[in-house]
């Protein structure tokens, strides 16, 4: 399919008529967006780039002739460990692929751009990938709000995108609802946000009794990614036998946790079950400094950082978090070698987005190779058929008819997160049993 200006306009009319309101709205919005991008790059150059895209989208079969180019969208890749892991995970994968003969003899190249965790910036950077960099596919994206804002652009451009951080199941719901338009989106990891909540419950069923957590306060930060987590906990937490004595979705950007913790203590909870990413550090630091009378664990993204104990002066000790992998845990035979290679190359260990992005780039390259074509439709089919043994588990995707279409499968044989507790400055795995390196330990002040 030639993606020139005339055809875009034609497509817009055609798609609006097809009755998909959301798609129609997006296509109408494309013109100002492309104009804005064009202002930065020059109209002539933009037109050239769009022309040069002919045949590389969903339609037509294009063989790879030259480097395989992958665009990586990462938040603050130079100084945010989550963004840096996305960027460096992709770089390391590309480097290893190229060193091992590339994809059908072609090098693999990655271009990294900063989303700043801002939906508008993410959209602009995605357009730059398409117009300026002529990438074959994109990966990355940590923030669900950013992903949702470019989902229609991914559909419009018909470029494969493998998400490696954002967890909102809204993306997979769109694939399920309008497969032909949105089939280019895959979530390599983490498991989607509803499954993240389910995994908390699975952990609780196995471990809460042993940990002495009978009464629980659920504390969830109010961001897009936590809505399905809350839903899963509401649906399933009762099955674990614990009593939920408090539920709170606290405001995004909360920095003072004193009133929330006062309320938790008043509720008599043994522990808080958390879903925190953006607000996690003030929460854990204040919990430890104030030596609150309840235990602390759940999903806590900053606590997944291997360097977190030093960064918080030990405040994270005794905190628990779900994680994709730790540098020493053998989730698969590829996990530890990757972590060590990453450390050797970049001087620090990756966080979960590093493992997932490394897997995404390698799986994508394998899909291009097995399809024999780089054009998106062929690669989509190859990815749907793929079962890739990665560093974070075996990556397989739910089919088009599944409610979580193109999300990575959650399960003991596919991707099953681990739970780690910070003990003496180390990330000790306490669940699942096959990976456990320590028993759960209560904070000494309780």
Closer of 17 and 255 to another protein (Cβ): 255
CB–CB of 228/192 below 8 Å? Answer: yes
CB of 266 to another protein, least distance (A): 5
Stretch of 10-18, 76-84, 382-390, 408-416 lying at the interface with another protein (CB under 8 A): 76-84
Largest distance between two CA atoms of the chain: 69
Q: Does residue 446 interact with another protein by CB under 8 A?
A: no
Q: How far apart are the first and last CA of the chain?
A: 64
CB–CB of 112/134 below 8 Å? Answer: no
* Consecutive H or E run containing 309: helix 308-311
What whole-number distance in Å separates Cα of residue 11 and Cα of residue 257?
Answer: 50
The CA-atom distances, in angstroms, between 161 and each of 55, 137, 150, 152, 428 are 17, 6, 10, 12, 33
CB–CB of 365/317 below 8 Å? Answer: no
Closer of 103 and 269 to another protein (Cβ): 269
CB of 53 to another protein, least distance (A): 34
Q: Does residue 117 interact with another protein by CB under 8 A?
A: yes
The pair of three-digit structure tokens given for residue 86, joined into one six-digit string: 């996305």
The CA-atom distances, in angstroms, between 151 and each of 318, 350, 363, 368 are 38, 27, 21, 22
CB of 6 to another protein, least distance (A): 42
| CA 122 to chain centroid | 14
Closer of 52 and 291 to another protein (Cβ): 291
Closer of 272 and 361 to another protein (Cβ): 272
Please return the burial class of 290, using the count of CB atoms within 10 Å of its CB with bins 0-12, 13-18 and 19+.
middle
CB–CB of 232/201 below 8 Å? Answer: yes
Q: Does residue 313 interact with another protein by CB under 8 A?
A: yes
CB of 225 to another protein, least distance (A): 16
* Consecutive H or E run containing 418: strand 418-423
What whole-number distance in Å separates Cα of residue 192 and Cα of residue 185?
Answer: 13
Q: Which of 13, 14, 52, 291 binds another protein (CB under 8 A)?
A: 291
Q: Which of 41, 96, 98, 290 binds another protein (CB under 8 A)?
A: 290
Closer of 288 and 367 to another protein (Cβ): 288
Q: Which of 215, 286, 381, 414 binds another protein (CB under 8 A)?
A: 286
Q: Does residue 347 interact with another protein by CB under 8 A?
A: no
Give me the 227-266 binding string for another protein, x by CB under 8 A, dash otherwise: ---------------------x-xx--xxx-xxx-xx--x
Q: Does residue 315 interact with another protein by CB under 8 A?
A: yes
Q: Does residue 214 interact with another protein by CB under 8 A?
A: no
Q: Does residue 350 interact with another protein by CB under 8 A?
A: no
**Residues in the site for another protein, rule: CB under 8 A?**
75-76, 78-81, 117, 222, 248, 250-251, 254-256, 258-260, 262-263, 266, 281-282, 285-286, 289-291, 293, 302, 311-313, 315
């Amino acid at each position: 399919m030639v993606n020139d200006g005339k055809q875009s306009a034609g497509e817009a009319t055609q798609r609006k008529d097809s009755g998909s309101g959301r798609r129609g709205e997006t296509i109408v919005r494309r013109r100002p967006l492309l104009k804005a991008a064009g202002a930065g790059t020059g109209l002539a150059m933009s037109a050239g780039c769009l022309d040069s895209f002919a045949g590389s989208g969903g339609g037509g079969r294009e063989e790879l002739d030259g480097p395989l180019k992958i665009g990586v969208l990462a938040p603050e890749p130079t100084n945010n460990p989550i963004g840096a892991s996305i960027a460096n995970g992709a770089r390391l994968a590309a480097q290893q692929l190229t060193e091992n003969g590339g994809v059908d003899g072609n090098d693999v190249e990655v271009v990294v751009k900063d989303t700043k965790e801002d939906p508008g910036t993410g959209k602009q950077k995605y357009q730059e990938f398409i117009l300026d960099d002529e990438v074959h596919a994109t990966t990355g994206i940590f923030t669900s709000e950013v992903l949702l804002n470019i989902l229609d652009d991914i559909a419009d451009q018909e470029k494969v995108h493998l998400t490696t951080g954002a967890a909102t199941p809204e993306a997979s719901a769109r694939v399920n609802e309008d497969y032909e338009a949105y089939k280019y989106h895959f979530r390599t990891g983490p498991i989607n946000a509803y499954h993240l909540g389910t995994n908390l419950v699975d952990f609780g069923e196995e471990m809460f009794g042993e940990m002495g957590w009978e009464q629980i306060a659920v504390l969830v930060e109010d961001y897009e990614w936590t809505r399905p987590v809350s839903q899963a906990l509401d649906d399933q937490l009762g099955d674990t036998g614990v009593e939920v004595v408090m539920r709170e979705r606290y405001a995004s950007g909360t920095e003072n946790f004193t009133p929330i913790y006062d309320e938790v203590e008043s509720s008599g909870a043994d522990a808080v079950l958390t879903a925190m990413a953006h607000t996690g550090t003030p929460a854990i630091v204040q919990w430890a400094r104030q030596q609150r009378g309840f235990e602390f664990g759940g999903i806590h993204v900053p606590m997944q950082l291997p360097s977190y104990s030093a960064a918080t002066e030990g405040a994270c000790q005794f905190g628990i978090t779900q994680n994709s992998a730790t540098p020493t845990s053998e989730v698969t035979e590829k996990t530890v070698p990757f972590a060590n290679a990453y450390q050797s190359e970049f001087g620090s260990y990756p966080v979960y987005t590093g493992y997932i992005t490394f897997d995404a780039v390698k799986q994508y390259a394998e899909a291009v190779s097995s399809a024999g074509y780089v054009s998106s439709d062929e690669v989509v089919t190859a990815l749907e058929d793929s079962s890739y043994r990665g560093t974070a588990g075996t990556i397989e995707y739910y089919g088009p008819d599944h409610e979580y279409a193109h999300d990575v499968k959650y399960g003991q044989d596919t991707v099953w997160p681990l739970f780690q507790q910070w003990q003496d400055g180390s990330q000790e795995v306490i669940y699942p049993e096959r990976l456990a390196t320590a028993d759960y330990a209560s904070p000494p002040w309780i």
